[in-house]
Every structure is written in structure tokens, then in C-alpha cells.
Amino acid sequence: MGNLKLHLRQWHWPGLLAVLLLLLAARQWLALDELGHRWRGLPYETSASALADFAELQALRSLSAEDSDAQQQLVTELSRSPLVLSARLYDGGGRLLADNNNGDNDDARVYVRPLYEQERIAGFLQLSLAGSALSGEHQTIWQGVYRHLGWLLPLTGALGALLTCALLRLRRLH
């Protein structure tokens, strides 16, 4: 019985360290997976936001002037971007004012920007973004990250086991 307590005491700190390293590696893996979900959506939001920032002033001018030609020209210009499948401009009540629909696509991501004029909603700008324009390169990069982490996780486990063995050996020498 005394030998068993000594044996358990020897494994107490290195075993705890190994479990701690394993939990830390698992937590990092889950954080990476969550980051991946955010990573996939980020380029759409960033690109659409930049396009909407560019078009916002023109949209507000055309809405306040009630100029249907300027409104149509705005959505036509936005639709010329390779990222934009279609663009629509709505008034503050949600009525469609200008539309340049280049066809529906199941891969499209919709971005809606409310347009404010003096703290009230003057209208909305809706952009349908092409998913394939950004996701191909993005997906390739993300797969590379997962491939590298696929061998990094077992390597971290092996390093933890080696550290445990080294601590045990050091403890036996003292």
C-alpha cells in the first residue's frame, strides 16, 4: 500500500501537467474552429462595407433629390464590380427605387446597409455578393491552416509526454 501511494505521488505532478497540456491543446483547437467561422464571413462583410461606404454619399444625394436616373446609375455602377451580383436601392419605407439584378445565385451573400440622413433612415442599399469571388482563395488558405495544425496537435501531445518523462526522470535522480 505504501508503494502504491509513492507511485501515485510520483505521477501526480507530471500527470497533472500532461492533462493540463491536453486540455490547453483542445481549447486551442476549439478556438481555431470558431475563428474559422468568423474568417469565412469576414471578406464578404469587409468588401461589402467598403462598397457601401463608397456608394453611401451618392445614394443619399439621389434619395434626397428623388432622382430616379441617378439612383439607377448608382446600382448599375455597383453591379459592375466582379464581387457584386446585384444591387438594389430602397427608400426609407422599404419601397424599391432602383434595381440591377444580374440573376439569382444560390452562392450569393446579401449585405444590407441602412442609409441615414440626420439620424433618420433615408433608405437602404442591398448588395448581393458573389460567394465564389472570395471564397476560393480564402478556403485554400484555411485548409492550409488546418493541414498544418493537423500535425501540430499530435506533436504538442508528444512534447507533453516527453516533458512528463523528463520530469519523472529528474525526480528519480533527486
Helix residue spans in 66-130 (DSSP H): 68-79
Q: Using one digit for the tens of pLDDT, what is the confidence trace for 44-70? A: 666 777 778 888 888 888 888 888 899
Residue at grid coordinates 427608400: 91
Q: Could you give the CA distance from residue 128 to residue 126 in angstroms, rounded to a whole number?
A: 7
Q: Could you give the CA distance from residue 51 to residue 49 in angstroms, rounded to a whole number?
A: 5
Q: Could you give the CA distance from residue 51 to residue 64 in angstroms, rounded to a whole number?
A: 20
Q: Could you give the CA distance from residue 80 to residue 170 in angstroms, rounded to a whole number?
A: 68
Q: pTM for the whole thing?
A: 0.54
* Residue 155 pLDDT greater than 80, yes or no: no
Q: What is the mean pLDDT of residues 71-100?
A: 87
